Structures are given as C-alpha cells and as structure tokens.
Amino acid sequence: MHHTLNILGIETSCDETAVAIFEGEPTAGQGRILAERVASQIPTHARFGGIVPEVASREHLAALPGLVAETMREAGLHWRDLHGIAVTAGPGLMGALLVGVAFARAAGRAAGLPVFPIHHMEGHLLAPGIAAALPPFPFISLLVSGGHTMLVRVDGIGRYTVIGQTIDDAAGECFDKSARLLGLPYPGGPEIARLAAGGDARRFPLPRPMLQHDNLNFSFSGLKTAVMLATKSCAHEPDEQWKHDLAAAIEAAITEVLIAKSVRACRQHGVAHLVIAGGVAANQTLRARLQAEASQYGLSIHLPDPRYCTDNGAMIAFACYCQVIADRHPPEAWDARARWPLQTVSAH
Ligand code: KG4
Ligand code: ZN
C-alpha cells in the first residue's frame, strides 16, 4: 500500500491567518498542496499604520476555525486522513501564536494526531521546496521578512547556522518605515515597489549600509534616516515625481545590499545554491536582478512562488513534512515562544 503523508499546517504568528494541507510522498521529498487559505488582517491593521498585537489575536481567533474547516473540505479530507498537525510555535507575537498553538493542540488531542511545533523562519527557509525540488545541501538562504534579515547556511533539514544578520532594522521593516515617511499605507514593501516602477533611482544617491564591510551583517537604520532627510527636502516639490524617484532609490539600495551580501556569503562558504525567502523575496525588482546577475556570480537561484514568500500555511505544513521524512520527531514538551533562535531548532 502506498500511503501519502497529509499534514495540516497552521500559521498565526503575525498578521495573516493561514492554513494549508500538504500531501507528501512517504519517502521522497515531493508532494503538493491540496488546499490552502490565507486570511490577511492587513485592512484591519492598516488603520493603525502597523500591527496591533491584541487586534491580531482576536482576528486569528475569529478566522482560524472556519479556515481550517474550509481547507479540510476543499481537500476532501477528514481528521482521520491526516498524519499530523504543524503549527508555528514561534517566533512571533505571543498572543497570536497562542491562538494557533491552542487550536492545534485541541484538534490533535481530539483527533489523536501528533502536533509539530514549527519555527516560522524554518518555514520560510524551506518554502522553495513546496512547488519544486529543494536545492542540494549545503545551500545559503537569505531570509528577509518584516521582523528578520538573516543569512543562513543550510547543511540539511534542521541543520541551520546563522552566518549573518541585521544589527538593527530588518529589510522589510526598512520598506515599511520608509513607506510611512512617504505617506504610504502598511505594509510598505508592495507600496514602495508599486511607486518605484515609475521612478528614477539615480536622483537620490542613498547609502548602501555595510556594503563595504567585509562581513555578512546588515544595517538598515541609516538608510531610513537618509530617506527621512530626503522626504523633508522634497516636501514642497510641486509634483509627485520625487516620490516615485525616492521609492525607486529605496528599492535599489535595499536590493543591492541584499544581493551583494548573499553573493559574498556563497563565495565565503563555497556554495553555489542561493535561496531567497520571506516577504521581501516577493519583490519583483529583487527577483529580476538576482536572476539576471546569477550567472555572472556562478550561482543558481531558488525563489519560492511570491505567494509562498509572504506568510502562509503551506510553508509550515511543508517544513513539518521535511521533518517527518528526515525522521525528526516533535519534542515531548514545548510551548509557544515569542523569541526562538533559529539555530536551536535541531536541539529540540
Ligand atoms: O514574511 P512576511 O510576510 O511576514 C513576516 O514574517 O514578517 O514579511 C512581511 C514583510 C513586510 O515588511 C512587507 O513590507 C514585506 O515583507 N514585503 C515586501 C513585498 N511584499 C511584502 N517588500 C518588498 N517588496 C514586496 N513586494
Ligand atoms: Zn514571515
């Protein structure tokens, strides 16, 4: 008999309530998403210019049970057809995480299923494997989201070494804060990208923080300050072209630093495969530039589909599937963790 592994994935760490079911081959690392839902809270939080944690928890609570029911129905599965439940256990907003974790535990108990605590960044990191084969190990992964910017050396499932990270703001945070300075709504990344399309990046020579430093770390707070000064000096311009030009300059500066440091990481580690994942990896300019420059650096680039770059349930279900086929078992005791260093996942 040929049994597939069906994993329900639940993600509630931030401002998307997301659910998906991954159906995987029992031995090979392949499979497909049977059904998925992402309910974004962006319209709710946009009114406040950022995420309000208490509001996020309440929205997850209201949305999650219905999304799970819809996803199960669309996949045509009953609880008994599942092999396990994967849930983001951290890092993230504690109240938001607890909604997903409590639901997963209750469902796991009732249906007699194991519950797997998944690290949110491990989900992002493995996301290119959802719809295509993962690159061979070792590979380097640049993880760029609203809360994190890090370079990770991946030597296997659960074998992650953080080799570089931001010393202040995350790349997504820099997009979000810059957008705010330009009077754009939250989240800023897609808004800056939209404005940038009609802009000339050369008008504003923004700094490329840490580009010349011979290490793998990032810093984005100085860039944010430069953007603030530029907005002040342009506030009285008669037309709005400067906003397009500044948005293009912001996108170019962030993109250039991210690519340069990723290439440096691959060179230093003698690795030819580069993954870029997390919300900022949905950025089309970043994707296009990387693809265009990859051959010149001798790199092969692995990008998740844009919908698997921003937060989703598929990456959580898939990360769990990878653990199961790698024979990694859920720990006996675990809890939601607002902070959870990625390197410690395998120590679990
Ligand atoms: O991974 P994600 O969905 O949530 C976190 O785990 O943080 O990442 C969200 C971040 C936000 O900062 C958002 O502005 C950014 O990803 N983002 C983008 C784009 N889409 C989302 N940044 C640049 N360009 C985009 N197209
Ligand atoms: Zn994320």
252 belongs to a structural domain: yes
Query: Does residue 102 sit in the same domain as residue 14?
Result: yes
Nearest-ligand number for the alpha carbon of 196:
1
Number of structural domains (the chain) is: 2
Q: Which of 186, 254, 280 to mutate to test the pocket of ligand 1 (most atoms within 8 A of CB)?
A: 280
Q: Is the peptide bond before 185 cis (omega within 30 degrees of 0)?
A: no
What CATH number has the domain bearing residue 114? 3.30.420.40
Give the model confidence (pLDDT) of 49-87 as tens digits. Answer: 788 999 999 999 999 999 999 999 999 999 999 999 999
Q: Which residues of 225-260 are buried (b: 16+ CB within 10 A; e: fewer)?
A: ebbeebbeebeeeeeeebbbbbbbbbbbbbbbbbbe
Query: Does residue 176 sit in the same domain as residue 295?
Result: yes
pLDDT at 102: 98
pLDDT at 46: 85
Query: Does residue 152 sit in the same domain as residue 287?
Result: yes
Query: Does residue 93 sit in the same domain as residue 156?
Result: no
* Number of helical (H) and strand (E) elements in the chain, helices listed first: 10, 10
Give the model confidence (pLDDT) of 204-263 as tens digits. Answer: 999 998 998 889 999 999 999 999 999 999 999 999 999 999 999 999 999 999 999 999
- Measured between alpha carbons, how far is 106 from 189 in angstroms, rounded to an integer? 36
- Per the structure, the complete domain to which residue 165 belongs is given by 137-303
* Mean of pLDDT values over 154-182: 97
Beta carbons of 145 and 172 less than 8 angstroms apart = yes
Check if 169 has its Cβ closer than 6 Å to any atom of ligand 1.
no
132 belongs to a structural domain: no
Beta carbons of 39 and 14 less than 8 angstroms apart = no
Query: Does residue 155 sit in the same domain as residue 298?
Result: yes
- Measured between alpha carbons, how far is 294 from 45 in angstroms, rounded to an integer? 37
Compute the distance from residue 310 Cα to the ligand 1 centre, in Å. Answer: 6
Q: Give pTM, 2 decimals.
A: 0.96
Beta carbons of 30 and 105 less than 8 angstroms apart = no
Check if 14 has its Cβ closer than 6 Å to any atom of ligand 1.
yes
Report whether pLDDT(1) > 60.
Answer: no
33 belongs to a structural domain: yes
Query: Does residue 244 sit in the same domain as residue 299?
Result: yes
Compute the distance from residue 255 Cα to the ligand 2 centre, in Å. Answer: 18
